[in-house]
A and B are shown apart, each in its own frame.
Chain A
Amino acid sequence: MTINTTFTIAANGNIRQGSAFVPGTSVRFTTLDLHKWLQDLADDPAYTGDDVMSILNSNPSELAGKRNAARPMPVTLLPNVNISDAEAQWFRFGSVEQNSGADLYTGLKVLGTLVANSPIYITQSNAKLPKYWADADVNTSFQILVKAKSGGALIDSGNITAWSRKYGQTFSHFDLNLSAGGEQVAALGTSLDTNIILSAAAAEAIYNTMTVAVANTTQDLGGGQGSLLHKGTITLNGTTSLADAYQALMWASSEASTATIAGVPGWRYRVLDAAYAENVSAPFGTFAGGKWFVAQGWWVTGVMPADSKNYQLISDNGTIETPPNTVQVSVSGLVLGDYVLVARDNGAGSYISTEYTVTAAAAATSITVTGLKTDTPASGVIRINGDRYTYTGWTGTTVSGLSPAIKAGGYTAAPAFIPMLDGVSAGTSMTSASFQFGTPFTCRYFVRNGTDGSAIVPFESTLSVTSTGGSGPAVRGADE
């Protein structure tokens, strides 16, 4: 089909199509083709066929520059020659201005590496434009015209966004402004998302079990970053894996989504707060190596224990938050009856016995330990002025469940420390209660046994506590 047979020109300057553009079937003409056709007619001595255009008419069109088929051509239709939105679908590679500049159709070209047949959609004034292009267009060259100006006013200031958000692929979008005319380029890139294994329906079903709410919340993930502001909460139902949650949220923000997120349709949800950096490929954060790197500002609750370490957050102020890393300290090579003490090394050949200063009332079973470290075992032993008390838990600076209760007379500004291990072995090894790893440190440990038949030369050594915990063997030197 040639341009001459596709359109007619009426005496009033209306260029109109004979039949509508069919995406994927019809072939677009360049804006240069339009200009060439009009100029071809404009030097004819008289009208021919159904095109009322000849030298009798005013000049119907002009280019900004010389004809060049290798460049997008901005065409201005003169003075009353015009196309409608329907005819604009037939053109590409340039722009068409008409009605004395009151109307403008600007070229849009999509560049980048995309999965074959990646669907493109375009939003203007926060609404999707009806598609007059085919998914397969991206396989060759995606070039269309988009109306940027109407009745003398730019539409949404000339801004549009080109998107590709197909569930099963990574997402992409690109903002551009069409007010300058010519051809504007949107750089998009998509790839297959191997983390997507659920069907869209299954992902939607999981999404419907979740709550995605926007509201400020200050929370401490427990990884040592402290309490931090978050601006939204993703609530899982306790049985949804993070991998499934990721897929559900990818569905919710895909082109086909019917979900509303943070007050906007999911298909144009981009970021929780405009001040945050966007995660273009996955608005709720990427999933890699079995770990969900949650987008900034979101707090996640309802995470299954098995997934407790499989994610990280970014607070409102940009702090990366990691789930707590709980570790333990153990000593091996023991026998029943060995006494084991593991405490923080003082770097001078001994252990820290003055880790804290404690004041406690007599008979108290709960005391305040100013400066209590976050890498304190969840339960264990506290030594106050050398006296041994077991405890069952701690929160903040309060150590509770002391046994026995604080002795008569209590303590006033007494030195205290909390060893990792402090007790008699009941087997071949001893392991501390879990504690949250913060930074590496060194422990000095002692193993002693003076019981006849098991007596050993007192053993002393050090062990390092890292993000995986710490362990050390006892070397048993018989002392009999």
Chain B
Amino acid sequence: MASMLIPSTWGLPSVVHLPTGVGSRSTQPGAALGKLRLPTDPIGIFALTLNNIVTGSSLQIESQDSSTVFHNSVVSGTTKSVTLQVYAPGSALNALRIKVRKGSVEPFYRPYETLLSAVVGAQSIYVSQIPD
């Protein structure tokens, strides 16, 4: 969601929420339109690749404050790519916890957990699961 500032003299609300989009603005005679992002608006894409996952592991990516689950799946194969949103700097939603677990079907592995920050761009991590 973005916001547009409109002079109140037009008799309209001074702030109008607009659909999410990359910031843009236009200047008209006597008025300036622009979109400003809220802290919860994504600002880009984070392409995360997890390597060396044991096939059949459960993967969950969540915010470190456990308020939001971004991804949950059972991984088939040893590599898993996940596309995540990146939020404005300082957003708690950029602080990620990655959980990889395999406790239902043999071979069992100890829960693997790591933390990282979402950034615009791509990053890969090596998942080192230890047999349980």
A residues with CB within 8 A of B? 36, 38-45, 55-56, 59, 62-63, 66-67
- Which residue of B58, B110, B131 is within 8 Å of A55 (Cβ)? B58
B60 within 8 A of A: yes
B101 touches A55 (CB 8 A): yes
- Which residue of B60, B108, B111 is within 8 Å of A67 (Cβ)? B108
B74 CB → nearest A CB, Å: 8
B65 within 8 A of A: no
A214 to B113, CA, bound (A): 64
Cβ-closest chain A residue relative to B130: A66
- 6 tightest CB-CB pairs across the interface, nearest first? A39-B103, A43-B101, A43-B58, A59-B111, A55-B60, A43-B103
Across the interface, which residues of B come within 8 angstroms of A41, CB to CB? 103
A428 to B86, CA, bound (A): 126
A56 touches B66 (CB 8 A): yes
- Which residue of B66, B102, B132 is within 8 Å of A66 (Cβ)? B132
B86-101 CB mask vs A (1 if < 8 Å, else 0) is 0000000000000101
Across the interface, which residues of A come within 8 angstroms of B62, CB to CB? 56
- Which residue of A36, A55, A63, A67 is within 8 Å of B99 (Cβ)? A55
A467 to B74, CA, bound (A): 90
A65 CB → nearest B CB, Å: 9
B125 within 8 A of A: no
A194 to B75, CA, bound (A): 68
- Which residue of B58, B102, B103 is within 8 Å of A36 (Cβ)? B103
A55 to B69, CA, bound (A): 10
B104 within 8 A of A: yes
Task: Given contacts A43-B111, A45-B72, A66-B132, list 8 more A-B pairs with CB under 8 A.
Answer: A39-B103, A39-B104, A43-B58, A43-B104, A44-B58, A44-B104, A56-B60, A59-B110
Across the interface, which residues of B come within 8 angstroms of A59, CB to CB? 101, 110-111, 113
B51-88 CB mask vs A (1 if < 8 Å, else 0) is 00000011010100010010010100000000000000
B residues with CB within 8 A of A? 57-58, 60, 62, 66, 69, 72, 74, 99, 101-104, 108, 110-111, 113, 131-132
A36 to B111, CA, bound (A): 12
Cβ-closest chain A residue relative to B57: A43
Across the interface, which residues of B come within 8 angstroms of A66, CB to CB? 131-132
Given contacts A45-B72, A55-B72, A63-B132, contact A39 B108 (CB under 8 A): yes
Across the interface, which residues of B come within 8 angstroms of A62, CB to CB? 110-111
Across the interface, which residues of A come within 8 angstroms of B132, CB to CB? 39, 63, 66-67
Interchain pairs with CB closer than 8 A, number: 48
A42 touches B101 (CB 8 A): yes
Given contacts A36-B103, A40-B103, contact A45 B58 (CB under 8 A): yes
Which one of B57, B60, B108, B131 has the greatest number of beta carbons of chain A within 10 Å?
B108
Across the interface, which residues of A come within 8 angstroms of B69, CB to CB? 56
- Which residue of A36, A39, A67 is within 8 Å of B101 (Cβ)? A39
Across the interface, which residues of B come within 8 angstroms of A63, CB to CB? 132
B60 touches A40 (CB 8 A): no
In the complex, 23 of the A-B residue pairs with CB atoms within 8 angstroms, ordered by the A residue number, are: A36-B108, A39-B111, A40-B103, A41-B103, A42-B101, A43-B57, A43-B58, A43-B101, A43-B102, A43-B104, A44-B104, A45-B58, A55-B72, A55-B101, A56-B60, A56-B66, A56-B69, A59-B111, A62-B110, A62-B111, A63-B132, A66-B131, A67-B132
Cβ-closest chain A residue relative to B112: A59
A44 to B101, CA, bound (A): 9
B46 CB → nearest A CB, Å: 20
A63 to B131, CA, bound (A): 11
A56 to B131, CA, bound (A): 21
Cβ-closest chain A residue relative to B60: A55
A66 to B107, CA, bound (A): 11
A68 to B74, CA, bound (A): 26
A41 to B101, CA, bound (A): 10
A40 to B103, CA, bound (A): 5
Across the interface, which residues of B come within 8 angstroms of A67, CB to CB? 108, 132
A45 to B71, CA, bound (A): 10
B51 CB → nearest A CB, Å: 19
Given contacts A55-B60, A55-B72, A66-B131, contact A42 B66 (CB under 8 A): no
Across the interface, which residues of B come within 8 angstroms of A44, CB to CB? 58, 104
A85 to B82, CA, bound (A): 44
Across the interface, which residues of A come within 8 angstroms of B57, CB to CB? 43
Across the interface, which residues of A come within 8 angstroms of B99, CB to CB? 55
A425 to B58, CA, bound (A): 110
A36 CB → nearest B CB, Å: 7
A41 to B89, CA, bound (A): 35
A56 CB → nearest B CB, Å: 7
Which one of B62, B66, B102, B103 has the greatest number of beta carbons of chain A within 10 Å?
B103
Across the interface, which residues of A come within 8 angstroms of B66, CB to CB? 56
Which one of B74, B111, B113 has the greatest number of beta carbons of chain A within 10 Å?
B111
A45 to B110, CA, bound (A): 17
Which one of A38, A55, A63, A67 has the greatest number of beta carbons of chain B within 10 Å?
A55
Cβ-closest chain A residue relative to B110: A62
B73 CB → nearest A CB, Å: 8
Across the interface, which residues of A come within 8 angstroms of B101, CB to CB? 39, 42-43, 55, 59
Which one of B58, B66, B101, B131 has the greatest number of beta carbons of chain A within 10 Å?
B101
Cβ-closest chain A residue relative to B59: A55
A219 to B74, CA, bound (A): 83
Across the interface, which residues of A come within 8 angstroms of B72, CB to CB? 45, 55
A40 to B60, CA, bound (A): 15
